[in-house]
Amino acid sequence: MAKLPDKKYLPRHVGIIMDGNGRWAKKRGLIRTEGHKQGAKVFRTISDYACKIGLDCVTFYAFSTENWKRPVDEIDTLMEIFQEYLIVAEDSKEKNEKKGYCLRFIGDTGAIPQELVNLMEVTEQDITPRTKTVVNIAINYGGRQEILKSVNEIAQQVAIGLIDPNNITQEDFEKGLYTAGLPDPDLIIRPSGECRLSNFLTWQSAYSELWFSDIPWPEFTTDDFDTALLEYAKRNRSFGAV
């Protein structure tokens, strides 16, 4: 494990696109779903590590609004993996709260099987003053869908006179995002060789630093996470200023 700099040089919020599970499995002569199972283990390792080192927030891109286009058997396996995780998370809820680990879900639950939605509701935790790290799992999430959600909510408020359409602010818009109340991601990590955001945190990532790697997610380690954090600490973030 690398020696990390003082927390003030680390990102407050890290977004992670968990990519490359299927390709990792195919390279080993395995079916794609085996890659997802291994990727789920890595997710647990990295989320625990994020809490251990005291990051304020980490958001994992688990299932996008576009992932419904995948084969049915693969989707079914992904939902089964998610269900297994939720059952374990429910049993560990009190333990996680003591560690300051707050689990939340972001995305449109409308297409998620009701059984899973029920588990999500009992597993999700409220942010409290004791919260050390917020772990967001983005499921059936899409950045464009999230933006439309906020726009629709503002339109409804305008229609009933709660908001003046001439005075809509960024703050008004951000209240309708799934990440409302959380800092924007300072750093977004995408392993497995792809160099795009793929509809992830579209609004929130306007000034995010990006870190790409050829390492497939099932092989991603805490050392790789440290490497990304150290690279982030070296960057100069001017936000448009000199």
Q: Given 19, 56, 186, 224, which residue is catalytic? A: 19
Q: How many CB atoms lie within 10 A of CB 83?
A: 14
Q: Could you give the CA distance from residue 103 to residue 194 in angstroms, rounded to a whole number?
A: 27
H/E stretch holding 136:
strand 133-141
Round to whole Å and give the CA distance between 13 and 188.
9
- Catalytic annotation, pick one of 6, 48, 67, 76: 67
How far is 59 from 17, CA to CA, in rounded Å? 9
Q: What are the φ/ψ torsions at residue 141 (nearest 5 degrees)? A: -110, 140
> Directed axis angle between helix 72-91 and helix 114-123, to 10°?
30
What number of other Cβ atoms are within 10 A of residue 195's Cβ? Answer: 7
Say whether 19 is catalytic: yes
Is 67 labeled as catalytic in the residue annotation?
Answer: yes
Tell me the catalytic residues: 19, 67
